[in-house]
Amino acid sequence: MAILVIAEHNNQELGAATLSTIAAALKIGNDIHVLVAGKSSQPVAESVSVCEGVTKVLHAEHEALEHATAESLTAIVVELASNYSHILAAASTFGKNFMPRIGAKLDVQPISDIISVESEDTFKRPVYAGNAIATVQSTDAIKVITVRATGFDAVATSGGSAVVESLTVDGHISQKSKFASQELTKSERPELTAAKIIISGGRGMGSGENFHMLEEIADKLGAAVGASRAAVDAGFVPNDYQVGQTGKIVAPELYIAVGISGAIQHLAGMKDSKVIVAINKDEEAPIFQVADYGLVADLFQAIPELKDAL
Partner 1 sequence: MKILVTVKRVVDYNVKVRVKDDNSGVETANVKMSMNPFCEIAVEEAVRLKEKGVASEIIVASIGPAQAQETLRTALALGADKAILVKTDEEVQPLAVAKILKEIVAKESPEMVIMGKQSIDGDNNQSGQMLAALLDWPQGTFASEINVSDGKVAVTREIDGGLETLELTLPAVVTSDLRLNEPRFASLPNIMKAKRKPLEEVSSADLGVDIAPRTKTLKVEAPAQREAGIKVDSVAELVDKLKNEAKVI
Ligand X SMILES: Cc1cc2nc3c(=O)[nH]c(=O)nc-3n(C[C@H](O)[C@H](O)[C@H](O)COP(=O)(O)OP(=O)(O)OC[C@H]3O[C@@H](n4cnc5c(N)ncnc54)[C@H](O)[C@@H]3O)c2cc1C
User: Is residue 79 involved in binding partner 1 (CB under 8 A)?
Assistant: no
User: Is residue 294 involved in binding partner 1 (CB under 8 A)?
Assistant: yes
> Radius of gyration of the chain from Cα atoms?
21
Nearer to partner 1, 67 or 203 (CB): 67
Counting beta carbons within 10 angstroms of the beta carbon of residue 188, is it exposed (0 to 12), middle (13 to 18) or buried (19 or more)? exposed
**Which residue(s) pair with 168 in the sheet?**
none
**Which residue(s) pair with 38 in the sheet?**
61
Q: Of partner 1, ligand X, none, which one does residue 114 interact with (CB within 5 to 8 Å by kind)? A: none
Structural contact between residues 227 and 183, judged by C-beta atoms closer than 8 angstroms: no
Nearer to partner 1, 50 or 296 (CB): 296
Nearer to partner 1, 57 or 268 (CB): 268
User: Is residue 266 involved in binding ligand X (CB under 6 A)?
Assistant: yes
**Which residue(s) pair with 89 in the sheet?**
146
Containing 220, the helix (H) or strand (E) segment is: helix 211-221
We find the least distance from the C-beta atom of residue 101 to partner 1, in angstroms, to be: 4
Q: Of ligand X, partner 1, none, which one does residue 259 interact with (CB within 5 to 8 Å by kind)? A: ligand X
User: Is residue 152 involved in binding partner 1 (CB under 8 A)?
Assistant: no
Residue from 95, 103, 190, 244 touching ligand X (CB under 6 A): that is 244
Find the binding residues for ligand X in span 283-302 (CB under 6 A).
285, 298-300
**CB-based contacts of 16, cutoff 8 Å, min separation 6:** 149, 154, 191, 193, 194
Q: Of ligand X, partner 1, none, which one does residue 113 interact with (CB within 5 to 8 Å by kind)? A: partner 1
Rounded-to-integer distance, Cα 243 and Cα 247, Å: 5
Q: In angstroms, how far is CA 46 from the centroid of its own chain?
A: 22
Strands 143-147 and 111-114: parallel
User: Is residue 264 involved in binding partner 1 (CB under 8 A)?
Assistant: yes
Q: Strands across the sheet with 84-90, in order?
A: 111-114, 143-147, 84-90, 2-6, 32-38, 54-61, 163-167
We find the least distance from the C-beta atom of residue 260 to ligand X, in angstroms, to be: 4
Structural contact between residues 254 and 273, judged by C-beta atoms closer than 8 angstroms: yes
Q: Assign 53 to helix, strand or coil.
A: coil
Nearer to partner 1, 166 or 179 (CB): 179
Find the binding residues for partner 1 in span 199-258 (CB under 8 A).
221, 229, 232-233, 238-240, 245-246, 248, 253-254
Residue from 133, 156, 165, 298 touching partner 1 (CB under 8 A): that is 133
User: Is residue 204 involved in binding ligand X (CB under 6 A)?
Assistant: yes
Find the binding residues for ligand X in span 103-142 (CB under 6 A).
127-128, 132, 134
Nearer to ligand X, 33 or 248 (CB): 248
